Amino acid sequence: MKTEYCLPFNFVSFIDIIYKMRKSVLIFLSVLIPISFCFAQQPDQLLRQWAEKNSIEKVWLHLDRDNYLAGETAWFKAYLYADYQPDTISTTLYVELLNNKGFLIDRKVLPILDGRTFGQFELNDSLSTDNYLIRAYSPTMLNGAPGQDSAYIFQKNIFVLGKNTKTQTFKKITDFSRIEFFPESGNFVNGIMNTIAFKATDEEGKPIAINGLVKNDKDEIVAEFASVHDGMGMFDITPISGVKYYAIIKDDARAKEFPLPSVADEGVVLRILQSGKNKFYEIEQRSNQEIRRAAYIVGQMQNHIVFKNNFSTEQNKTVINGPLDVSHLASGILQVTVFNKDNIPLAERLCFVNNGEYKIKADIEPDTLSFKERSRNVLRVAFKDTVVGSFSMSVVDPAYGNYAPRSENIYSSLLLTSDLHGYIHNPAYYFLNDDDSTQANLDLVMMTNGWRRFKWTELSKGISALPAINDPGYIRVAGKVNIMYLKKMFVSKPFLVFINTQDHNKSMRMGLTDAQGNFQLDSLMFFGNALMSFKDIRGKKSSKLEVKLSADTLTRNFSLPKFSQELKAIGWQPSTESKIKLEDDLDAINKAKGIMLNNVTVKVKKKSAEELLDEKYSKGMFSGFAERTIDLVHTDEPIFQSNIFDYLQGRVPGLNISNDGPEYSIHYRQAATTSSMGLIPMILYLDEVQTDVSFISAIPANDIAMVKVFSNFVGAEGNGAGGVLAIYTKKGEDALNSITTKDRIRYQGYSVIKEFYAPDYKVNQQTDLNVDNRITLLWKPDIQVRGINSIITIPFYNNDRSKQFKVVLEGLTVDGKMLMLEKIFDKKE
């Protein structure tokens, strides 16, 4: 990879450009109209106006693990954050899974309630071994500020072990590939001591340690430097106007020279000094021109001005300094900017405020700890003070992942990386300790990464503009209603909508068309496929209705930032030991499924249409063997029945279907009994989600692709003692032949949220006779806490092999405080 160096934004050059443009405009227009310069309005006023329309929104995803086997489920909970509180701006979150080329594999659309939501990705067992990207955003997060080329969205790598599991060999990288130099305040000014921060990375974008020399154009050494943390460091230098400076790296056989920024004759240097929790600013200026001298200094956090100091009596001083009282501020990134009298920025510096007020006091300890096979464990979480919030917990076996603390957590994401450009290596490190060394290293991050939220110089352009994307307020269904057969619009009339959803819910909504027959239903919330029946409610005057929907508010596409090649290159990898264990697990799973290893050629019988259909529609425990599989796609028989139950009557031996009007009873291979419990009804699944019989009965039989009959089913309650009926609706090309009435539409609601399955060995030690090799032992995404000094207990069962538990507990309170606990509990010898 080509070696690069990067230079920062130069405020001095920017000022020259601005004033040259201003002078030209004044000459051209001075005889016509008075000029109002674009920065005449105070920057703090512009920022307040912008913030009133655009709040900063962030999202953090707590995942149960960082690595998975193909065919497993990746569980996550999302926490949304705005203005130091749970985000109440957005109502819908998009969570997407992409491969390492940036192609979309899966997408979940989830409702946000009180700043949180949760869901899962079912990782297809056909995925190849690689890093995959998860990204998450709400539509309103995409309203970037003027001058910014992209908005902030959450991105995280996960590792999936699947096909092509041959161990990859990685080249050991010991050489730097990129060096970036950053004058502390953006200016490299003649005759003033300048602090230059630097960052060195290898060809994968990971930090690498370096040390080197700074020389002038006479080949004289003027400074030495060495990285102190993650390839970052800094050095001081007093440059001379007209002299060029460059850096060389010691022991670099190439003797490559890396030029430093050009020296400005005049300008302002801003320094931020730290002493424990206290901060001070120091401005040193070298200019006789008023336009290049500091008039005031402003500090902002999260689009809110937190201080402003005017230098009306100090403008002519060479050095201006003073304290920065940050003790009353919320924690996060503080952007400090020096302006001249014309409100043009002269110098800028980022620093981090860490007052610790964001942390909840809590601890987690085992109440019952046992590493025996399938033994019961209980974790005890004790909160201090008053806590009202929502939390999520994962318990995993660290031997199949990572023993080290996660490199990113809720603290580092919401307070640090969400506001910075580029890749930050191991950001969670900066929140592990609060000592001077850690804070000094964090200050290097502030000096070597740019602010991403807005540019002062572009802010005025966005004040009058409304946000490009608005939140629809959950599901919004809109369209046009006509009177069936008459081709007349159903204008200015009321109608009733019956909504039957996949999660057993039924509801009704009243609507009213306008003068063109258009309608809009707002604030709907339902999951999976929904059947919406539109009815005219005018009594004897009622007509059959024909409905045509307009654009969908849920499945729309957005213009997103380009796929992060930098993040792709820095993909997470499990340790060699963990990867070998994962490969063994995957081999065992594949052998159990009858899948052959790579590079083994066998002759196989060509699969039937029914087998191919089963592979297309069913996944996981639903795939493969069933007592009976009915294919409704590859049949020449006309399918006219009103629902699948009418179609199945008399077709499957032992399947008894009876109905009393719209209510159906379905039983499988059960004789009459005198038991008080009576017959056990079959458990019904629609598209592998347990669904109410009344919902399925509203779907025409011609919309069904396949039906599978199971006499029992390990994934169902009570092992499906009464039998399980798995019904699959047509999708893709198979759906083209479906026939539906024009007054009834099918609408895809929010993604179905599944429940994490964990065996309860207390009820039945023989629940599953197979080996229990679960890596995620517990995923509990919706722990609600409300009270003073609350104590909660969380039980879970071990698998057949784990000797350690890694527990992560994260969450957010209603007043914006965060919890992050991460512990490993070992087997005590």
> What digits encode the pLDDT tens for the residues 683-710?
999 999 998 888 888 787 888 999 999 9
**Strand boundaries in 123-169, DSSP class E:** 130-137, 154-161
Q: Edge-to-edge, what's the strand order for the sheet holding 319-324?
A: 267-275, 278-286, 319-324
> What whole-number distance in Å separates Cα of residue 285 and Cα of residue 320?
9
Q: How far is CA 86 from CA 109, 389, 653, 813, in A?
A: 19, 10, 55, 8
At 109 the three-state DSSP class reads strand
Separation between Cα atoms, residue 328 and residue 355, nearest integer Å: 8
User: What b-and-e string marks burial along 291-329, b requiring 16 or more CB atoms within 10 Å of the CB?
Assistant: bbbbbbbbbbbbbbbbbeeebeebbeeeebeeebebeeb
d(CA 805, CA 43): 52
Q: Which residues of 121-131 are buried (b: 16+ CB within 10 A; e: fewer)?
A: bebebebebbb
Helix (H) or strand (E) holding 11: helix 11-29
708 three-state secondary structure: strand
**CA–CA separation, 637 vs 391, rounded Å?**
53
What does the chain come to in residues?
829
Residue 756: exposure state from Cβ atoms within 10 A (0-12, 13-18, ≥19): middle
- How far, in Å, are 6, 101, 103, 107 from residue 563 at the CA level? 21, 8, 9, 16
Question: Positive or negative CA dihedral for 411, 413, 417, 422?
Answer: positive
Conformation bin of residue 670: beta by default, left when phi > 0, alpha when psi is -120 to 50: beta
CA 514/CA 654 separation, integer angstroms: 53
**341 Cα distance to chain centroid:** 42
Instruction: Give pLDDT tens digits for 324-382.
Output: 999 999 999 999 999 999 999 999 999 999 999 999 999 999 999 999 999 999 999 99
User: In this structure, are residues 151 and 139 in contact, taking their beta carbons and an 8 Å threshold?
Assistant: no
* Tokens 């039989």, located at residue: 701
Between the CA of residue 614 and those of 630, 702, 752, what are the distances in Å? Answer: 10, 18, 21
What is the token pair recorded at 391?
């939390």
Task: For residue 521, give the H/E element and its range.
Answer: strand 518-524
In this prediction, residue 3 carries a pLDDT of: 44
- What is the distance between the alpha carbons of residues 353 and 589, in angstroms, rounded to a whole number? 49
pLDDT at 588: 76
DSSP structure class, residue 53? H
- The pLDDT value recorded for residue 544 is 85
Residues 6+ apart with CB under 8 A from 473: 91, 522, 523
CA distance 776 to 21: 62
Asked if residues 462 and 41 have their Cβ atoms less than 8 Å apart, the reply is no
pLDDT of residue 463: 63
**Three-state SS annotation for 312-376:** CCCCCCCEEEEEECCCCCCCEEEEEEEECCCCCEEEEEEEEECCCCCECCEEEEEEECCCCCCCE
- CA–CA gap between residue 595 and residue 80 (Å, rounded): 41
Cα dihedral: 289, 291, 294, 296 (round 10): 150
Give the pair of three-digit tokens for residue 208. 């690498």
Residue 121 in contact with residue 157, Cβ under 8 Å? Answer: no
Sites in the chain below the pLDDT cut of 70 = 1-40, 145-151, 165-176, 452, 462-467, 503-504, 562-573, 590-605, 661-662, 671-677, 732-733, 735-741, 764-769, 828-829
> CB neighbours of 720 closer than 8 A, spacing ≥ 6?
682, 683, 710, 712, 713, 714
Place of tokens 């409905």: 547
Helices (H), 248-316: none
Of the candidates 453, 491, 572, the one whose C-alpha atom is nearest the C-alpha of residue 130 is 572
Cα 138 to Cα 151: distance, rounded to the nearest angstrom? 11
Helix or strand (DSSP H, E) at 524: strand 518-524
Supply 120's token pair.
Answer: 């899962």
